[in-house]
Structure 1
């Protein structure tokens, strides 16, 4: 805008330019597509199934209506419509990040690329709606899974026929960009320090190093380091001690409580809650593929860590160790990327662990979970491991939600923001 007058930006692109751009786009993401498709099967199908389970008859009728206009846009509207039932902005963020990376909307602008036929979309949406209306979740799952697999095979055949991969040095992996308001270095550094306090360099330390030493170590200013410790203090993870330094509040000690009157703490607690829900619906599949891929030596190290937590009385860390195992050890880059971010967001619940101990038998539940998990790992029963984790996370999610609501959180703070809801509602119309 100049002197109160709007500026018009004119963008002109020939059909040849568009075709070249699309070819270049796909060639540089060539090696990520297969991985991201497998990741999507493990992450999204459980989320879509849960969204469908929450739909009433009128909402399922809306899927039938979408099938009458079987366009690619309406296919995306279907996924948005279903995932929005989960009321989780982090899930919607992840969905759009993967959709944009895969570039299917971009491909539709090129007349030479046809990823979905109208009949395929119509049959798919009608089948999903039909089985969902009958509450036949076994067949619903089969339809979702089969469509995703067949669609990817179509895309794979097209890409292999028409597009050559760019050199390895130019390949672009999937990165999950989480939308934040006014992101600051101190928040990402806080997550790094929380990790070090739980499982890294400071896991056995009583105090953090001085601001000056940490500023050099993490290559940030002393003022940034002070802001980071300020955040951790109000999170309940550290406690300044006059004349001594910054004491680490251990989970097993239960002496750190979050200050939920601080806006950044509340925002990051909401991220923790939303990440927790993604874990609840996707952990069984993500852990199963990871435990099937890691080496016997890695499983041995995991068992040793879990036994250590039992001996120290800090079994609350067991779940974080499992998330970290997925973030590092999954054979799929997409799972590693997603669970790496989820692990970081989940660390914001650091000080909720001792708070949960006010719940009846919660500490005993952590210990029993750790013992049962070790036993399943001893027999290499991967199905049992995954099932145990799914069951445990589902129970702990309820505890976390009750705690946050009891301490003043409103559902609209934890759930889908009105701006995202409005956007999707507008698109659906």
Structure 2
């Protein structure tokens, strides 16, 4: 998570869902602020902000030195109506996640469990101290595994995944045994607990689906617009300008704006990208600082792609974006095999041929960032899963920041030790032979090579204030 506002929003949603669905009812008491702070591992101000918002929404009543009391007067009918309003618009999204979510999380679990086992054996394991959601419920096991990667981006995705599947927080009485034996990890117990938890969640999913599908026609909810899952990239600084900068860098890669050409005027860019003029100006400031563009008084903004001063990597602004790039690359490495294989096996022969034609264009070129962008652009457009398209679309945005690394390396005369021509030739051979598993393996190896090179050449610290 990025900051206290995001954390207080999480606490607010945690209690709001339980109140609206009847887990907490009129007259029930919440725990004291100090108890909530201790359980959630958060500062008093963060918890107080969430409680203030709950009170403003009419859910609770607080009095000085007393525990908050639920004042929302729901009935069995209103609890059902609240559930309808939440789950009906998310039915398709929940179904999609239930079917395809394992493509992202299965490999993460397997590797993370190995990381956790090594950490415990080496005496480096530290008990989770994040939120009450973790300390009291089975999500703690997943989080302990996930945090072994020290990757705030993946942890952010996990939290937003849980928030979207609101109902999937287990009931208050649900409990789990400890997966540690004599201070050491029991892989057998951990895997059994995961299987039990997955089964518990799946049963909840089936109940929610049955509930949504059984809603009578008179409620007029059958054709309600669906709310898809959205993955928000948390940044300490305003996000829009960095997202737009990534988009423009990608378009320069694809020669929408060739080097030497001029970008559209500020008003036209604001209209094209649906942002304000001030956002366009801030975005251009970012691009100017990277040597991507240069402003000429009375003429316009020219695409120049000049050499980057390597010292720019030391600025806090660039460190944040480049750390997100590295974290995105790590998550891409863990998931690229499953997602690529699923996509290739699911799409039509015509679409696979279109991808082959795009890949073939890279013979004689030495642009690994653009090569990765070809695949991510294809997956985020063609994979038959809205959930995966959203996640890979956001990863594609982060990959664009790899341009900065490439530009610095070009300036120093250094390049990654990988032969793009051999890689492209092997992909072509495997795709024409319809060896989809081999294609997915090649992409995973390619991403791994770049990630290893990235780790050895640049030192980046993971943000400490992300859950």
Common topology (TM > 0.5)? yes
The answer on whether the counterparts of 1:97 and 1:176 sit within 8 Å (CA) in structure 2 is: yes
Q: Secondary structure at the match of 1:29?
A: helix
2:323 to 261, 265, 270: 270
Aligned residues: 385
Greater shift after overlay, 389-398 or 11-20? 11-20
The answer on whether the counterparts of 1:206 and 1:248 sit within 8 Å (CA) in structure 2 is: yes
The answer on whether the counterparts of 1:327 and 1:339 sit within 8 Å (CA) in structure 2 is: yes
Q: Secondary structure at the match of 2:229?
A: coil
In structure 2, do the counterparts of structure 1 residues 344 and 168 end up closer, same or farther at CA, with 3 Å as the change threshold? Answer: farther
Q: Partners of 1:394 and 1:230 in 2: how far apart?
A: 33
The answer on whether the counterparts of 1:236 and 1:351 sit within 8 Å (CA) in structure 2 is: no
Q: Note the 1:2-401 alignment, pairs <5 A.
A: 9=55, 10=61, 11-13=70-72, 14=74, 16=76, 17-56=78-117, 59=120, 73-104=136-167, 108=171, 122=177, 130-131=186-187, 150-151=199-200, 153-164=202-213, 166-199=221-254, 201-202=256-257, 206-240=261-295, 245-249=300-304, 255-256=307-308, 259-356=312-409, 362=416, 364-401=418-455
User: Which structure 2 residue ranges, 5 or more long, are not aligned?
Assistant: 1-44, 46-50, 56-60, 62-69, 129-133, 216-220
In structure 2, do the counterparts of structure 1 residues 36 and 227 end up closer, same or farther at CA, with 3 Å as the change threshold? Answer: same
1:78-129 Cα distance to aligned partner (Å, 9 max, x none): 11111111101111110010011111355626x9xxxxx75xx559999x95
In structure 2, do the counterparts of structure 1 residues 401 and 132 end up closer, same or farther at CA, with 3 Å as the change threshold? Answer: farther
Question: What is the CA distance between 1:225 and its match in structure 2?
Answer: 2.3
1:230-279 Cα distance to aligned partner (Å, 9 max, x none): 101223433446786434346xxx84456224432221111111111110
User: Which structure 1 residue ranges, 5 or more long, are not aligned?
Assistant: 66-70, 112-116, 134-138, 422-429
In structure 2, do the counterparts of structure 1 residues 294 and 244 end up closer, same or farther at CA, with 3 Å as the change threshold? Answer: farther
1:184-235 Cα distance to aligned partner (Å, 9 max, x none): 5322221221222123632577442343543443344544323212101223
The aligned counterpart of 1:136 is none
Q: Partners of 2:239 and 2:415 in 1: how far apart?
A: 38
The answer on whether the counterparts of 2:409 and 2:415 sit within 8 Å (CA) in structure 1 is: no
The answer on whether the counterparts of 2:364 and 2:421 sit within 8 Å (CA) in structure 1 is: no
The answer on whether the counterparts of 2:380 and 2:388 sit within 8 Å (CA) in structure 1 is: yes
Q: TM-score scaled to structure 1, two decimals?
A: 0.77
Q: Partners of 1:15 and 1:220 in 2: how far apart?
A: 44
Q: Partners of 2:167 and 2:307 in 1: how far apart?
A: 50
The answer on whether the counterparts of 2:120 and 2:185 sit within 8 Å (CA) in structure 1 is: no
The answer on whether the counterparts of 1:234 and 1:265 sit within 8 Å (CA) in structure 2 is: no
In structure 2, do the counterparts of structure 1 residues 22 and 361 end up closer, same or farther at CA, with 3 Å as the change threshold? Answer: same
Higher normalized helix content (fraction of residues): 1
Q: Partners of 2:79 and 2:170 in 1: how far apart?
A: 10
Q: Partners of 2:274 and 2:162 in 1: how far apart?
A: 35
Q: Secondary structure at the match of 1:174?
A: coil
In structure 2, do the counterparts of structure 1 residues 361 and 147 end up closer, same or farther at CA, with 3 Å as the change threshold? Answer: farther
Q: Secondary structure at the match of 2:361?
A: helix
The answer on whether the counterparts of 2:91 and 2:226 sit within 8 Å (CA) in structure 1 is: yes
